[in-house]
Structure formats: C-alpha cells, structure tokens
A = this chain, B = another copy of it.
C-alpha cells in the first residue's frame, strides 16, 4: 500500500514491469540517485512486490507477480465492499423514503 503510494516507486515499478533491471539502470532513467532507488527497492521488496537476484556485481530486480496479485486483490476487495455497502444503504434509504425522489447535489465548486 505504502509501496505504491510514492510516485518514484511507481515509476520504478513501471520500469520493472517492462523488464527486470539492475539498480544502476533504474537510477539512470530516474531523477534520483542510485541509493534512493536502492532504498525504494527495499520498500518494494518488503511489500513483496519485487524480487532480486545477484548476477555478477549487479543485482537484478524484477516484479513479483504474486505480490502484485495480492495487493490488487486487497484493493479490489476494499473498493468492492465500499460500493456494496453503499449500494445496500442507498437501497435501504430508498425504501425508507418510499416515494420521495433522490437527488444528487452538485457543489459547483470550481476548485
């Protein structure tokens, strides 16, 4: 969750989705230093979103599809429950109104 909350980490994830990469390669394509990327990768690794393996002096990071599925499932469940709950309540309230019209109000605030 926190893992995908940061923009840089999402950029890293996007890169890794295309193909596994070493830390230096990732840093070269991002506006942050190599240690910063390394630290982000640590967070992603703790979140089980990436895996790493050593190849010579380099460390290749790759997306862990299993972790992606888990995070995705978590959020899908969250949103689904949210919508389901809302739908149920809206339905109950509609019955309670029993004939009263439902109106969506717009705040009209421009920003």
Query: Which residues in A have some Cβ–Cβ distance to B below 8 Å?
Result: 1-2, 4-5, 13, 17-22, 24-25, 27-28, 45, 51-53, 55, 58, 60, 63, 65, 68-69, 71-72, 75-76, 78-80, 82-83, 85-87, 89-90, 104-107, 109
Contact = CB atoms under 8 A, between A and B. Distances in A.
Nearest to A79: B72
B27 A109 contact: yes
Cβ-closest 8 pairs across A and B = A72-B79, A53-B105, A5-B5, A17-B85, A65-B86, A28-B109, A17-B82, A75-B75
Contacts of A83: 65, 68-69, 72
Contacts of A1: 5
A86 B27 contact: no
A14 B107 CA distance: 20
